[in-house]
Amino acid sequence: MVKYSEEFKVKVVQEYLSGPLGYILLAKKYSPLAESQLRRWVRAYKEFGKCGLTRKKKQYYSVQFKLDVLNFMKRTGASYQDTAIKFDMNNPNLIVTWNSKFLKEGIEGLEKSKGRPSMSKKPKITPVKQEKTMSREEQLERENELLRLEVAYLKKSKAFRENPDAYLEKHKQRWYSNSKKKDSE
């Protein structure tokens, strides 16, 4: 979605109000501006003046207010734009969002706030994982495997300390030959 500056909106709306060009031609002139967007700007400008074209800072509406807006729209059959003007809102798309959330999720959809939830004061309690109980034989096998790994690591470390160039050359060749095998498949 393209966001337009307030100056651009005022310029286009005033050009529409003062000039011979209609919605369609102005929208084509300032492409990718949509004709429907231009209509909303002109309507908001006529109702609220320049303030109707400014982006409002984050404003939070209560669930009761949202329900009142949707109820008004349902009772009167007013359009989203008309409803927004009635409730001094310059963003009818907000009402569209509320309506779709209300139809999908009911009142709970209107209560949900957008964005990441605030951090709680309480630290998370992670459940302690119960370790799988091993038999004595399994414990000894595990310890044996760890000792084998430690010995292999120490041997490689010693070989590297004694002659780093030879060690690197040996492992470089092995890696290179392994990568050739994988590439050729």
| pLDDT-flagged residues of the chain (< 50) | 1, 185
Where in the chain are the domains?
1-55, 58-114, 138-184
What pLDDT sits at residue 48? 74
Q: Which two tokens stand for residue 32?
A: 């990718």
pLDDT in tens, 47-64: 777 767 766 666 777 888
Q: What's the pTM?
A: 0.46
What pLDDT sits at residue 85? 80
